[in-house]
Structure 1
Amino acid sequence: MSSVRRVRRATTVVSAVVCAALVLGACGGGDDDSTDDPIPGVDQGATEDGDQDDTGNDADTEAPEEDVEGDADSDRPEIDLGDDFENVYEDDETGDETTDAILRDSRGYFDAVDAAIIHQDTEHPALSYYIAGDALAATMDLIVPLIEANRVPIGEARIYNRAATAVDDSTATVSFCREFSDVSNVDKGSGEVLSPPDPDAKAALYTTRLELNDDGVWQTVEYGGAREADECA
């Protein structure tokens, strides 16, 4: 199943500062470990169907699986990145529950960083929810200068060619292309355009490693990137 998901929100990386921001990858070489291999099942915490005891009564009063998932989703930090930017996710759903969960939480990485930049909030709860380990430390190093420079982007970014790869039951990689040719960089306070859109900007290939934490969230723990990769042509 293929779909396009549009998310109205401001994002962090713009063509003029793609290497400096590098919120979604790093300039220079990045390992592309992605394939079309299936992803192993995610422990969603779903309850088993209730069994009857020897008396014929229900031994358990179970919550439907969808209710459990709904409760988990309700704990996710709200991310509102405003109306001036749109992330367009292509091929957003595969039809496989586990793969889609990994891709969903990979989107959370984008959106958490974007929220911190737009709202100038280095303690935004989505940061530590979707990002951990080396990736969180590196992300903080990258977003703080952007916040201090008062730079925010407007426009539309396109994310495509996403692929999830199993490493083991609690580790996965996600690779994707991101294209910024319709994104400009503006001063948050004055609205002055600091860098206009670059229609010739080339998409960059990003590779991330995710780990499943105890709360069932696929957190991005490492990332890297390469500009003008063949996979993004």
Structure 2
Amino acid sequence: MTRRPTLLAAAALTTAAVLSLSACGGSDGDSKDNDKIAGADSGGKKSESPSPKASADGIDRPTIELPKDVKNVFEGGKTGDPKKDAVLADNERWVDSLIEAVTVDAKDHPAIKFYASGDALLSSAEYIDGFRKKSKSFVGTTRYYNRQVTFLKDGVAAVTYCQDGTKTYPKDLKTGKVDRSVEGSASDYAFFNTRVKKNDQGVWQTDSVTSTAGAKKCM
């Protein structure tokens, strides 16, 4: 198994894989199938997800809680532009929701559906399922940096950023063991280009993702 908890698996879905997920009901409007894809059932012992809480912007957002041994570090702080800051904040929440779904054993992960749409929602499910089928997870810290927002048109923007996964390690869910012997490599660095769209609730949902592994600009 690769040691990286990167979003590369989510970004690298082939057309065939997307169509396969869609054929299972991911885009036909069936709410039950959509819940299966977006929730990405983790298997094993179940626990109830926290109820949504109203944030400062008045949006009822699902709570996201990562394990104590899993951390996402988003560098860059505030841009000084409230609109860009809102986009970056929801991008962070999407990343956190995806990592939560892989690392937290819960009955459902509503944040996935809340912060992703379109191809990104399908690829998120594929990413999560890839870990669960192998009974794998991970621990450690992932760093996100060089984060930029470019507004394309009203309600649509591009978010680009780098990812450093050299401080993450694979975990076997069956034994609970963590393999910290694997050394970091160039492939642990990646560049991401995501498209986000503002929905009716005012949430900037990630709609599509492309990535480059071993990106020199991120090293």
> Match for residue 203 of structure 2?
217
Within the candidate set 179, 188, 206, 2:173 is matched to 188
SS of residue in 2 equivalent to 1:156: strand
Q: CA deviation at 1:86?
A: 1.5
CA 1:159–1:15: 2 relative to 1, 3 Å: farther
Distance 2:158 2:169 in 1: 29
Within the candidate set 159, 162, 165, 1:177 is matched to 162
SS of residue in 2 equivalent to 1:191: coil
Q: Which amino acid aligns with 1:229?
A: A
> Match for residue 114 of structure 2?
129
Does the Cα contact within 8 Å between 1:27 and 1:225 map onto a contact in 2? no
Q: CA deviation at 1:136?
A: 0.4
CA 1:178–1:97: 2 relative to 1, 3 Å: same
1:16 aligns with 2:7: no
Q: CA deviation at 1:122?
A: 7.9
Distance 1:137 1:27 in 2: 9
Higher helix share: 2
CA 1:122–1:22: 2 relative to 1, 3 Å: farther
The percent identity for this pair of structures is 31
Q: Which amino acid aligns with 2:144?
A: I
Larger deviation, residues 187-196 vs 131-140: 187-196
> Match for residue 206 of structure 1?
192
RMSD: 2.5
- The structure with higher relative contact order (CA 8 Å, sep 6+) is 1
> Match for residue 167 of structure 1?
152
Gaps of 5+ in 2: 15-53
Gaps of 5+ in 1: 1-13, 29-67
Q: CA deviation at 1:194?
A: 4.6
Q: CA deviation at 1:120?
A: 4.2
Q: How many residues align?
A: 179
Distance 2:214 2:107 in 1: 30
Does the Cα contact within 8 Å between 2:10 and 2:126 map onto a contact in 1? no
Distance 1:158 1:205 in 2: 12
SS of residue in 2 equivalent to 1:193: coil
TM-score by length of 1: 0.69
TM-score by length of 2: 0.73
Within the candidate set 58, 67, 89, 1:82 is matched to 67
Tell me which stretches of 4 or more aligned residues in structure 1 moved more than 4 Å: none
Which string of whole-angstrom CA distances, capped at 9 and with x for unpartnered residues, describes residues 93-125 of structure 1?
212111000000001111111111112458411
Distance 1:167 1:216 in 2: 17
Q: CA deviation at 1:135?
A: 0.9
Q: CA deviation at 1:92?
A: 2.8
Q: CA deviation at 1:227?
A: 1.2
1:106 aligns with 2:91: yes
CA 1:214–1:221: 2 relative to 1, 3 Å: same
Does the Cα contact within 8 Å between 1:25 and 1:207 map onto a contact in 2? no
